[in-house]
Amino acid sequence: MVHILGESNSLFNQYLSEIRDEVIQKDSLRFRRNMERVGEIFAYEISKKLPYKNKEITTCLGVAKMRVLEQQPVLATILRAGLPLHQGLLNCFDSAENCFISAYRKYDPNGEFHIDFQYIASPLLDNKIVILSDPMLATGSSMEVGYHALLEKGDPTHIHMVSLIASRQGIDYILDRLPQDRITLWVGAIDPEMTPKSYIVPGLGDAGDLAFGAKIDSKEVIPHAHF
């Protein structure tokens, strides 16, 4: 199932419009905060699909019967671009365990790339619900790598995948390659095109660079570096 939050009128679209805006993007603090905000909204919407239990809460005047989460989900993200979105989810699921996946685009000499998985830092995931976030779902390869990386740490009952912007190709790729009974996709918007280098159009640019500053290309030489 695919949930598209931007199809309904809400503050989500206000934040998304600011995240896309090339002028507002120049304020990296504002960009990161807006990513947190949409993460918080994703968390609220996903929380409606999680299992709950009854619990009696003692107040200063009596006992209230409440519905609370059976368990906190495990929050996973793909470094580094996913960190602000992850923080927004964590602001709401504030007792959640956390998982971090290192993966990046590794370009071949002919200009094509594949996603290179490096490591995962994760709790045991058996019988847990996982929320895996990555701001952009372009080709779908990063999410696929993230999904299989999670399975190295156990057998989760379900994985909710969160991306702010997705391409139609990326959505189709995930639905074709991963078991649909094990995943749910949550996106803010689906954009129609990708560049030859697989950047989503109109998209928003490089989320990691906008949040944390431009990174040096691995092919560049760093002068006077000492290791």
Q: Are 13 and 7 in contact (CB under 8 A)?
A: no
- Rounded Cα distance, 227 and 224, in Å: 10
**Dihedral angle computed from the Cα positions of residues 44, 46, 49 and 55, in that order, rounded to the nearest 10 degrees:** -40
Average pLDDT (159-169) is 96
Q: CA distances (Å), 82 to each of 71, 97, 112, 170, in order?
A: 23, 16, 23, 17
The pLDDT tens digits for 67-101 are 999 999 999 999 888 899 999 999 999 999 999 99
Rounded distance between C-alpha atoms, residue 208 and residue 210, angstroms: 5
Q: What is the pLDDT of residues 102-144, one digit of tens each?
A: 876 665 666 665 666 778 999 999 999 999 999 999 999 889 9
Alpha helix (H) residue ranges in the chain = 11-20, 28-47, 83-92, 141-151, 168-177, 207-212
pLDDT for 221 equals: 37
CATH of domain 2-49+71-212: 3.40.50.2020
Specify the higher pLDDT residue, 82 or 225: 82
Q: Minimal CA–CA distance to 133: which of 159, 161, 153?
A: 161
Instruction: Please give the span between the terminal C-alpha atoms of the chain, in angstroms, as a whole number.
Output: 48
Does pLDDT of 201 surpass 70? yes
pLDDT at residue number 196: 82
**What is the domain partition of the chain in residue ranges?**
2-49+71-212
Residues 4-61: tens digit of each pLDDT:
999 999 999 999 999 999 999 999 999 999 999 999 999 999 999 999 999 999 999 9
Angle value at C-alpha 38, between 36 and 41, nearest 5 degrees:
115
| pTM of the predicted structure, to 2 decimals | 0.89
- Residue from 23, 14, 8, 19 nearest 163 by CA: 19
Close Cβ partners of 17 (under 8 Å, ≥ 6 residues apart): none
